[in-house]
Structure 1
Amino acid sequence: MENGGVAFAPIVGVVVFLLKGNKVLLGRRRSAVGYSTFALPGGHLEFGESFEECAAREVKEETGLDIDKIDYLTVTNNVLSREVKPQHVVAICMRAGLADTNQMPQNLEPDKCDGWDWYDWNDLPKPLFGPLETMVRNGFNPFSHQSK
């Protein structure tokens, strides 16, 4: 797709299913893309960064949490053409646990997120961010999914 002669290239993002018991960490988005929907922590992959490094960095930057047991789950191809800022995001989906279960999430990017909380996987808040909603509707479960 082009916009005024500028081609839109896909963006590579890394999202993290941060699990604690039967709960997953979600935050309500404040950004133009997916505004006011609940989403996983994550962000753009930086040059030379591994998926695991990106997952740990993004979770730390957004929530202050240290994570471990980081593993790859799946990849999704998301064309967000109906958003205010259309994007094509290839999302690398990772799974992780807390390095210390006594840690509490902090909202370190209040301009991008209304705050973080733990939600039971079987009782997720609404509305979910589009790509996450699609995964849930298609039966994806980060607790039972076998990593590769």
Structure 2
Amino acid sequence: MVIYRPKVGVGVIVIKNNKILLGKRLNSHGEGSWSFPGGHLEYKETWEECAIRETMEETGICVNKVRFGSVTNDIFCKEDKHYVTIFMLADYLSGDARVREPEKCEKWDWFEWEKLPDPLFIPIENLIKNNFNPINRLS
């Protein structure tokens, strides 16, 4: 008997000059959609550690002031996947966004929250449905 359980993903909302960093996904569920840096939470890893690690691995950017933003329950019907996505807010500290995992991401760019590109990754769509705005949560 197969038991299906949701996976835990961490999305990192990197904020620089009131803009948000997004990457265009490749070779994974949500291919072609725009997503925050992020990935799977590792065993015994804190949410903050995961956010810092994934942002550096994927973009080469250093972040600080990492803090909880929100959480979504995300069903990917087409791919038959289920994730609980923890969104962490992080302030840009240093570095230039560059593609460090070309098999997973086509490009990185900065966007105003009110002018996000299409299509968006399902967890971000769910975040927006919950009326979450990371720019209003700056501290």
Larger radius of gyration: 1
Q: Equivalents in 1 of 2:138, 2:17: separation in Å?
A: 17
Q: Which runs of 5+ in 1 are unaligned?
A: none
Q: Structure 1 residues 146, 75: closer, same or farther in 2, change over 3 A?
A: farther
CA RMSD of aligned residues (A): 1.5
Cα deviation code 1:81-139 (max 9, x no counterpart): 222xx211111110001222xx2111000101101111111111111111202322442
Q: Which runs of 5+ in 2 are unaligned?
A: none
Superposed, 1:60-75 pairs within 5 Å as 60-75=56-71
Q: Equivalents in 1 of 2:51, 2:114: separation in Å?
A: 24
One-letter amino acid of the counterpart of residue 62, structure 2: D
Match status 1:89 vs 2:83 = yes
How many pairs align?
Answer: 139
Decide which of 113, 122, 137 is 1:121's aligned counterpart. Answer: 113
Asked whether the 8 Å contact 2:24–2:108 carries over to 1, the reply is yes
Q: Structure 1 residues 31, 7: closer, same or farther in 2, change over 3 A?
A: farther
Asked whether the 8 Å contact 2:25–2:35 carries over to 1, the reply is yes
Identical residues among aligned pairs (%):
44
Greater fraction of residues in helix: 2
One-letter amino acid of the counterpart of residue 25, structure 1: L
Cα deviation code 1:29-63 (max 9, x no counterpart): 01331010000100000011000000000000000
**Cα offset for 1:144?**
1.2
TM-score by length of 2: 0.93
Partner of residue 19, structure 1: 15
SS at match of 2:52: helix
Q: Equivalents in 1 of 2:74, 2:50: separation in Å?
A: 19
Q: Equivalents in 2 of 1:15, 1:23: separation in Å?
A: 16
TM-score by length of 1: 0.88
Match status 1:106 vs 2:98 = yes
Asked whether the 8 Å contact 1:45–1:51 carries over to 2, the reply is yes
SS at match of 2:74: strand
Q: Which runs of at least 4 in structure 1 moved beyond 6 Å after TM superposition?
A: none
